[in-house]
C-alpha cells in the first residue's frame, strides 16, 4: 500500500498544556486535511498503525494536552 503525504502542518508542540478541545480546533483549522482523535488517560492500549491524516491528542484528567500532537 502506498503512503500518501498530507500537506500542511504535521505537529503542534505549542499545544502541550492547552485544553484538548482548543487543541483539536487549532489542529483542524491549521490543517483541514486531518482528523483528530482525543485519547484520555483511561486508554491503556492504542493501535500502532500509522494513519497519514490522523492526529492523536493525548490528554490528562483535566483534558489538557500531555504530549506533542503529531500526524500518525
Domain ranges of the chain: 13-71
CATH 3.30.10.10 holds for 13-71:
yes
Residue 36's nearest CA partner among 27, 45, 46, 48 is: 27
pTM of the model: 0.87
pLDDT bin (cut points 50, 70, 90) of residue 1 is very low
From 35, 29, 28, select the one nearest 52 (Cα to Cα).
Answer: 35
C-alpha cell belonging to residue 24? 483539536
pLDDT tens sequence across 8-57:
899 999 999 999 999 999 999 999 999 999 999 999 889 999 999 999 99
* Strand-pair category, 35-39 with 54-58: parallel
Distances (CA, A) of 37 to 2, 23, 32, 54, 59: 23, 11, 14, 7, 11
Amino acid at each position: 500500500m502506498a503512503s500518501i503525504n498530507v500537506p500542511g502542518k504535521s505537529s503542534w508542540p505549542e499545544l502541550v498544556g492547552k485544553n484538548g478541545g482548543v487543541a483539536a480546533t487549532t489542529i483542524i483549522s491549521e490543517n483541514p486535511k486531518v482528523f483528530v482523535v482525543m485519547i484520555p488517560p483511561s486508554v491503556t492500549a492504542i493501535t500502532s498503525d500509522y494513519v497519514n491524516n490522523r492526529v492523536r491528542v493525548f490528554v490528562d484528567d483535566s483534558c489538557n494536552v500531555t504530549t506533542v500532537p503529531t500526524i500518525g
